[in-house]
Structure 1
Amino acid sequence: MHEMDLCESIRDVLEDHARRHDLRAIRRVRLEIGRLAGVEVEALRFGFDVVMRGSVAEGATLEIIDLPGRAWCFDCGVEVEIAGRLDDCPRCGGARLRPTGGDEMRVKDLEAA
């Protein structure tokens, strides 16, 4: 389950941020996760609570901001929203799409004490 690895990376980012800014505790973390990122959100939620134990973010609330998948359609020449990488264009039905967004995951912001 790569979500545990993701949580460990998030913990490292939070710990580093806390050290650099002299934070005692992180109370809330907001993550942006694109629909094309391949992240199982419920597994990430579970892993977050487990991995954050004993860290500056122990007990922190995790908020997930769902970002849509986006792709450029070569057939109709517009950027469209897609739910999956293999989706056809919702506008024209074309199958020649190049993903342009929705594969990212990042810490958007956090609330600290």
Structure 2
Amino acid sequence: MHELSIAQSLLALIEDEMAKHGKDTLVTVKVRHGRLSAIVPEALDMAFTALTMDTRLATARLVLEENPVVLRCRACGREFSPQGKSAFAPCPACGEELGHTVLSGRELYIEYLELE
């Protein structure tokens, strides 16, 4: 379960930002993850909850939002979103199956922190 190490990294970043801005309370953290990032949202939420239990961050709310996969066809340049969690899909315009550029879907980042 690599979500535990991801949650640890997120919490380290959050603590750094809280210290940098002189804030003591984390209200909400929003994390965006791409469909191809291999994140299991329920596992990340559980890891976040386990790591913040009995800490000053215990009341914080974790919001997870998934970015869809967006590809650009290498043959015709059309941008499209395939079904499912795969970057292997034929282009709906020209039928090209391989070599697409991944424009979106691999992300993993903190979109915002709500601090008090």
For the criterion TM > 0.5, the same-fold answer is yes
SS state at 2:81 partner:
strand
Q: Which residue of structure 2 lines up, in the alignment, with residue 16 of structure 1?
A: 16
Residue 61 of structure 2 corresponds to residue 61 of structure 1:
yes
Q: Which residue of structure 1 lines up, in the alignment, with residue 7 of structure 2?
A: 7
Q: Distance in 2 between matches of 1:60 and 1:15?
A: 12
Q: Distance in 1 between matches of 2:18 and 2:81?
A: 36
State the shift of 1:110 in Å. 1.4
- Give the TM-score normalised by structure 1: 0.88
The code of the aligned residue for 1:78 comes to R
- Give the TM-score normalised by structure 2: 0.86
Would the alpha carbon gap of residues 102 and 8 (structure 1) be closer, same or farther in structure 2, given more than 3 Å must change?
same
Would the alpha carbon gap of residues 91 and 3 (structure 1) be closer, same or farther in structure 2, given more than 3 Å must change?
farther
Range with greater deviation from structure 2 (60-69 or 48-57):
48-57
SS state at 1:15 partner:
helix
State the superposition RMSD in angstroms. Answer: 1.6
Range with greater deviation from structure 2 (58-67 or 6-15):
58-67
Residue 11 of structure 1 contacts residue 57 of structure 1 at CA under 8 Å; is this kept in 2?
no
Equivalences, count? 113
Unaligned runs of 5+ in 2: none
Q: Which residue of structure 1 lines up, in the alignment, with residue 110 of structure 2?
A: 107
Q: Which residue of structure 2 lines up, in the alignment, with residue 45 of structure 1?
A: 45
**Deviations along 1:57-82, whole A, 9 cap, x unmatched?**
22211111211111111233212123
Residue 92 of structure 2 corresponds to residue 95 of structure 1:
no
Residue 80 of structure 1 contacts residue 91 of structure 1 at CA under 8 Å; is this kept in 2?
no
The partner residue of 1:86 within 67, 84, 88 is 88
Range with greater deviation from structure 2 (13-22 or 91-100):
91-100
Q: Distance in 1 between matches of 2:21 and 2:42?
A: 30
Q: Select the structure that is richer in strand.
A: 1
Unaligned runs of 5+ in 1: none
